[in-house]
C-alpha cells in the first residue's frame, strides 16, 4: 500500500507461517515490545503517532491485520472461527519476531481480537490495553449485561448490516466528503466532530486500503426470518464480530496468568456505545430500519455496560482492570487527545 509513513517509523514486510503483511516499527530493536492492533476499516497507519510517543526503552510494533492494507490479499478471515484467525496471526507474528510476551494494545475490533488472544494465549500478554473495544459478546444482536442473544441465528449482525453503498465507495477509492463516504464516516464517527486529524488524507488512504469483497469486507450475509431479515455470512471481520461465532467470554475468567487490563474509551463514542448508531436495534428503534419488533425483543446492545460487567467478573476471578474515560472524544481518543491518552497509557505499561 502507498500510504506515507512518519519520520521515525520503518516499514517491513514480515512473513510468518500464517501470513505475510506490512509491519511498522518504532524505537530501538532491543526495546520492550508494545504491539498495536488496529480496528475495522483501518490499518497500522492509525497507530504511528502513538508509537512514536512511546517512552525510551520501548519498541513499537503495528501490523496490518488480515483483510486490510498490506496483508496478503489471498488470506481471508474465516468468520465461523470468530476472532481465532486474527488471534492466531498475532501469535505467529510474535513467534516470528522472537517475543514470548509483549504489551498489547487493541482499538475497536482490534480490542475484540485481544479478548480472544487473552483467552488463547494469556502467558504472552505482559499487559492488555483495550481502546474503545468491541463488546466481549460481539457487535450487535445481544441484550443485557450478560449478552443474551436476541435470536438464535444472530439476526441483525454481520455483513448484511453494513450500508450497501459503503463497500463500493471503499473499493472505488472515494475521497469525497459526501454523506456516507469513507471520509464523512471517519470525521463523523471515528472522531467527535468537529475534530479533524492532522493526517486526514493518510488516514483516509488507510481506510481505502480495506480489502473489499464477498470474502473480505463486508463478507456476505444469510437471509433470516427474524428482524431485520439478515444474519451473518461466513467471511470477513464484520461477520467474525457476530455473537454467533465468538468464543464464549466465560473462558476469560479461568485464564492463568491473568494479565492486567487498561480500558480506555472516549466519552462520546457513537460506534461502541450503549446505543450505538451502528447497531441495527438502535436504528430500528429510531425508525430508520423498518419493522423493529420493539425493545423487549431487540433492544440496543449495552456495549459499554457489557464490557464493564465482564471486566468486573475478571477482577473478581483474580484479574485486575482500570477504566479511564477521556472527555470530549469519540471512537479514537488516542488520536483526538494524544497527550492525555499517552499519560495514562505510558504509566500503565511502565
- Per-residue pLDDT tens digits for 213-251: 999 999 999 999 999 999 999 999 999 999 999 999 999
pLDDT recorded at residue 213: 96
Burial (0-12, 13-18, 19+ Cβ within 10 Å), 336: buried
Enumerate the domain spans of the chain.
Answer: 10-349
pLDDT recorded at residue 286: 97
Closest CA to 110 of 43, 162, 60: 43
Closest CA to 187 of 178, 179, 196: 196
Prior bond of 218 cis (ω within 30°): yes
- 48's enclosing H/E stretch is helix 48-52
- Contacts of residue 289, defined as CB under 8 A and 6 or more positions apart, other chains included, come to 228, 280, 283
pLDDT recorded at residue 49: 98
| pTM over cut 0.85 | yes
Report yes or no: 120 and 87 within 8 Å, Cβ to Cβ.
yes
Name the fold adopted by 10-349: Rossmann fold (3.40.50)
pLDDT recorded at residue 1: 63
User: What residues of the chain score a pLDDT lower than 50?
Assistant: none
Amino acid at each position: 500500500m502507498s500510504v506515507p509513513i512518519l519520520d521515525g517509523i520503518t516499514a517491513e514486510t514480515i512473513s510468518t507461517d500464517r501470513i505475510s503483511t506490512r509491519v511498522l516499527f518504532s524505537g530501538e530493536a532491543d526495546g520492550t515490545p508494545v504491539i498495536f492492533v488496529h480496528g475495522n476499516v483501518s490499518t497500522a497507519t492509525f497507530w504511528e503517532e502513538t508509537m512514536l510517543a512511546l517512552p525510551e526503552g520501548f519498541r513499537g510494533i503495528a501490523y496490518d491485520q488480515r483483510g486490510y492494507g498490506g496483508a496478503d490479499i489471498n488470506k481471508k478471515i474465516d468468520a465461523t472461527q470468530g476472532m481465532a484467525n486474527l488471534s492466531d496471526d498475532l501469535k505467529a507474528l510474535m513467534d516470528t519476531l522472537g517475543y514470548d510476551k509483549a504489551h498489547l494494545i487493541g482499538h475497536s475490533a482490534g480490542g475484540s481480537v485481544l479478548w480472544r488472544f487473552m483467552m488463547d494465549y494469556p502467558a504472552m500478554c505482559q499487559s492488555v490495553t483495550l481502546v474503545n473495544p468491541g463488546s466481549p459478546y460481539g457487535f450487535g444482536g445481544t441484550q443485557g449485561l450478560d449478552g443474551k442473544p436476541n435470536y438464535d441465528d444472530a439476526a441483525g449482525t454481520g455483513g448484511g448490516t453494513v450500508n450497501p453503498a459503503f463497500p463500493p465507495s471503499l473499493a472505488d477509492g472515494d475521497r469525497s466528503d459526501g454523506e456516507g463516504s469513507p471520509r464523512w464516516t471517519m470525521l463523523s464517527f471515528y472522531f467527535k466532530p468537529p475534530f479533524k486529524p492532522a493526517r486526514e488524507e493518510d488516514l483516509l488512504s488507510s481506510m481505502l486500503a480495506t480489502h473489499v469483497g464477498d470474502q473480505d469486507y463486508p463478507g456476505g450475509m444469510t437471509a433470516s426470518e427474524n428482524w431485520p431479515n439478515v444474519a451473518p455470512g461466513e467471511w470477513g471481520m464484520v461477520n467474525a464480530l457476530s455473537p454467533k461465532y465468538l468464543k464464549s467470554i466465560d473462558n476469560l475468567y479461568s485464564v492463568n496468568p491473568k494479565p492486567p487490563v487498561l480500558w480506555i474509551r472516549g466519552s462520546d463514542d457513537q460506534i461502541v456505545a450503549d446505543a450505538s448508531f451502528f447497531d441495527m436495534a438502535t436504528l430500528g428503534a429510531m425508525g430508520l430500519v423498518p419493522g423493529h419488533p420493539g425493545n423487549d425483543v431487540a433492544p440496543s446492545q449495552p456495549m459499554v455496560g457489557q464490557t464493564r460487567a465482564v471486566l468486573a467478573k475478571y477482577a473478581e476471578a483474580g484479574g485486575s482492570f482500570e477504566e479511564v474515560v477521556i472527555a470530549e472524544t469519540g471512537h479514537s481518543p488516542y488520536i483526538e487527545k494524544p497527550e492525555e491518552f499517552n499519560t495514562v497509557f505510558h504509566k500503565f505499561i511502565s
